[in-house]
Amino acid sequence: MFKKVRSAALRGIEAIPVEIEVDSSEGLPGFSLVGLPDNAVREARERVISAMRSCGFYGCSSRMTVNMSPADLRKEGAAFDLGLAIGILAATEQIAVPNLENFLFLGELSLDGRLRPVHGILAVAANLARYSPQTILVVPYENRGEAVCVEELKVIAPKTLEECVKRLQEPERVYCSCHEENPVPATQTKTADFSQVYGMAAVKRALEISAAGAHNFLLVGSPGSGKTLCARCLPGILPAMRRNESLESTIIHSCAGVFDSGGLMKSRPFRAPHHTATVASLVGGMRLRPGEASLAHNGVLFLDELPEFQRAALECLRQPLEEGVVRLNRALGSVNFPANFVLGAAMNPCPCGYAMDKRRDCRCMPDTIKRYRAKVSGPLLDRIDLQVSVPSVPIDESRAAKTGENSAEIQKRVEAACKIQENRLDGRKSFRNGHLDGKTLKEILFWDSDAENFALKAAEKWRMSHRGYDRILKVARTIADLRQSSRVERSDLAEAIQYRALEAVWMN
């Protein structure tokens, strides 16, 4: 008997429909699997047959041929186990499932028949809701939190193969819902609070602007000056995620296999890879999976010890910073990953770290300092809106300093500024000032001729590129939003321009 079962494969973060065709015919017992499977899919035969026997069914006693269509799409992973098992059971007439074509199966099988969770469930669920909302999605019980995030989709989440068969044959089924069981919420990472940071008013101000307008930032200072601590406080003041942003980020993390708590992500991602990260780990490409740049989508990618990263790894971030997407072309195929992130970085001013410290002498030669700073290329530095010098605060002053604002207070101002941006750019996909194109930027500046002339003269004096000029305008627009003003004034531009002073000193 011939049976056809629906499943899905992932290419990047895109779900592609797959049909598992099972043909049971007379002849010597055997099992043939075709359709460009990888090793994990080929090994499914042993897992599926053992799981069937553990649940009271018999194995393959006839000639079994399985084709996974489309045949030219490479099938990877163990997510096809459940669909394969149901197809074999139906083809050998061990079970009868009414309207089998209405179901889509995903799940890995243990040898004892238990269903194990798999990656990318939310990507499949979102794809089904868009194109096939009448489909019933069957997933392992541990994946129910992801599947029910798409509310208009019917979901069945059994724990074992035996339970799955019973649920499929029920005349009246009870489906999972987001209200039936509260899925485990996304893990909230404990972040540092700005109340722990003494002094450093200029650094706090720059990070507040970065959070409000999604502006890239670079912190430069001596070792132990508090660069990393300040950056670690940033997640506590980032604006809340909108639902579409939360859905996008959760899909990416699910497909990458780094999200296992169920439910949608509640906080913006903050990714901080080690400086030994390779090009593939930063932008993706290994087995067409997303890299750190995509995992930081709608959040922050923080690169500590910036000059220690590979030059090629840093340069590959230039295109995502401009376009908000990573385009990969590999032997396995071509994919696009969303990568609309804020780039944050921290570095020392020289190899010894004390070139900008007034309390200690720098031991580095001028040529050594120049080579060290040259590890951060001019084009990359030109894409960083806020370049901040982090002063080293003496211990006695830090002990005597009063506790500053906490992150919750700063976040209120950030949320207010983001609300202004969202109302001003209503209906657009991106509403943050740092992500605006040049045409939209000119439409929302609302400045007078005096402010415009001031900006043009400053750009000429500092020999800014067109990109650098646009970026100071974006920062100025965010500064005006933070003070609840509809117009960009000269004082806003002056503050924005001072954040480009470090580039002017280094590049000249």
> What is the per-residue pLDDT for 376?
92
Structure confidence at residue 187 (pLDDT): 41
pLDDT of residue 186: 42
Tell me the average pLDDT of the chain. Answer: 89
151-184 pLDDT tens trace: 888 999 999 999 999 999 887 777 886 654 444 4
State phi, psi for 175 to the nearest 5 degrees. Answer: -95, 155
Residue 225 has pLDDT above 70, yes or no: yes
Average the pLDDT over 43-57 and give the result: 93
Cα angle at 347 between 343 and 351, to 5 degrees?
150
Q: Amino acid identity, residue 492?
A: D
- Distances, alpha carbon 104 to alpha carbons 1, 80, 152, 285, 443, in Å: 20, 10, 15, 28, 47
Is the preceding peptide bond at 70 cis, omega within 30 degrees of 0? yes
Mean pLDDT of the region 404-416 = 92
Determine whether 361 is exposed, middle or buried from the number of CB atoms within 10 Å of its CB (0-12, 13-18, 19+). exposed
Percent with pLDDT over 90 in the chain = 66
Question: Measuring CA to CA, which residue among 265, 254, 301, 246 is closest to residue 79?
Answer: 254
Residues 6+ apart with CB under 8 A from 483: none
Is the model's pLDDT at 84 over the cut of 80?
A: yes
489/260: higher pLDDT: 489
With cut-offs at 50, 70 and 90, classify the pLDDT of residue 192: confident
Reference 247, options 298, 282, 293, 289; nearest CA is 298
What is the distance between the alpha carbons of residues 296 and 248, in angstroms, rounded to a whole number? 11
Q: Residues 212-240: what's their mean pLDDT? A: 94
Two tokens, residue 500:
């480009």
pLDDT confidence of residue 473: 95
pTM of the model: 0.90
pLDDT of residue 127: 87
Q: What pLDDT sits at residue 401?
A: 61
Q: Which residues pair with 165 in a beta bridge?
A: none
* Bridging pattern class, strands 217-221 and 386-390: parallel
Instruction: Give the Å distances, CA to CA, from 435 to 207, 248, 320, 341.
Output: 17, 17, 11, 9
Which band of pLDDT confidence, cut at 50, 70 and 90, is reported for residue 188?
Answer: very low
| Model pLDDT for residues 106-136, shown as the tens digit of each residue | 999 999 999 999 999 999 999 888 888 889 9
- Selected residue with higher pLDDT from 191 and 237: 237
Identify whether the C-beta of residue 346 lies closer than 8 Å to the C-beta of residue 305: yes
Is the pLDDT confidence value at 14 over 70?
Answer: yes
Taking the C-alpha atoms of residue 117 and residue 249, their distance in angstroms, rounded to an integer, is: 19
Task: Give the tokens for residue 354.
Answer: 């004390």
Over residues 260-271, mean pLDDT: 84
Can you spell out the DSSP letters for 389-455? EEPPPPHHHHHHSPP---HHHHHHHHHHHHHHHHHHTTT-S---GGG--HHHHHHH----HHHHHHH
pLDDT for 181: 45
**4 DSSP assignment:** E
Q: What are phi and psi of 337, to 5 degrees?
A: -115, 135
> What confidence score (pLDDT) does residue 182 get?
43
pLDDT of 506 reads 65
Mean pLDDT score, 204-229: 94
pLDDT, residue 172, reads 77
**Residue 503 clears pLDDT 80, i.e. is over it:** no
Per-residue model confidence (pLDDT) at position 507: 57
Cα dihedral 1, 55, 100, 5, rounded to 10, equals -70
Residue 218 has pLDDT above 90, yes or no: yes
**What distances in angstroms separate CA 460 from CA 279, 295, 463, 469, 496, one per listed residue?**
36, 38, 5, 10, 15
Rounded Cα distance between 362 and 503, Å, is 20
At residue 60 the predicted structure's pLDDT band, cuts being 50, 70 and 90, is confident
What pLDDT does 52 receive?
93
Which whole number is the average pLDDT over 353-377?
90
Closest by CA position to 191, among listed 83, 287, 269, 88: 269
What number of other Cβ atoms are within 10 A of residue 407's Cβ? 22
Mean pLDDT (whole number) for 250-260: 87
Give residue 183's pLDDT.
43
Reply yes or no on whether the pLDDT at 471 is more than 80. Answer: yes
pLDDT over 60 (residue 384): yes
pLDDT band at 474 (very low <50, low <70, confident <90, very high): very high
pLDDT at 508 over 60: no
Is the pLDDT score of 309 beyond 50? Answer: yes
Average pLDDT of 352-368? 90
Structure tokens given for 184: 């485990």
